[in-house]
Amino acid sequence: MLETGIIDGGFAFAALVALVAGLVSFLSPCVLPIVPPYLAYMGGISMSEMAGEGRRRPRVMLAALFFVLGLSTVFLILGFAASALGRMITPWMSWFNAAAGIVVMLFGAHFLGVLRLPFLDREARLDAGDRGGSAFGAYILGLAFAFGWTPCIGPQLGMILSLVIDEASLTRGTALLAVYAAGLGVPFLLFAAFFPRLTGLMAFLKRHMARIERIMGLLLWTIGLMILTGGFSAVSFWLLETFPTLSRLG
């Protein structure tokens, strides 16, 4: 796609996919369970203090904010780089879409339990050292999280990067990664602000982790199929016909 206005039918749908992918990444089995200890560590407090309503709550919220800024920095850089790559491979975009669609569908099949990809069952984390208790340390942890926390966010992030490359637009591609970062990062901020009141919700989500994984797999498989078959263009045209005002935005 050529550089156009930021918001239109195609981008609106892709942004919705990116937002849902970010939220599903947060709810994934190797992210959600570590949220409370991660927030406590970054805020320099104990888990018992984390569960309370003490005066150190603003410290945890500040740490969570800088953590989200750290991971968002990486995602925005990736979005910019993927957009630039999309411009470079425009003549071969059909081949890229076919390969990317198949790969994303395989990721989806893995999380649906249809087949197992062993490398997605391993975690690769970057060690950020002793960085707890400071805003700068939380920012460094955010960078490390975005770079090295796999396999849980890898397939979803790869799916969004495939969409960004297909966009071949620096502005729209970077905006898509910003939306993905919001989907992943905003829940961190909400848990930092309201954690004592959200323990019941977290317990509920943990009980349904297998179902969340299947939803993740279905999302990946469906988007992979759309990338492979050009379904995004069809959805874009449908949105423009149904909501003509989208063509005047951006």
Domain segments of the chain as ranges: 9-242
pLDDT at 246: 54
pLDDT per residue as tens digits for the range 17-50: 889 989 988 888 778 888 888 888 887 777 776 6
pTM, full prediction: 0.81
pLDDT at residue number 1: 41
pLDDT score at 66: 92
What is the per-residue pLDDT across 173-199, written as a single tens digit (0 to 9) for each?
888 899 999 999 999 899 888 877 887
Measure Cα distances from 126 to 5, 28, 76, 142 in Å: 37, 18, 19, 11
How many CB atoms lie under 10 A from the CB of residue 156?
Answer: 30
Q: What is the 3-state secondary structure (H, E, C) of 46-81?
A: CHHHHCCCCCCHHHHHHHHHHHHHHHHHHHHHHHHH
Distance in angstroms (rounded) separating the CA atoms of residues 128 and 7: 37
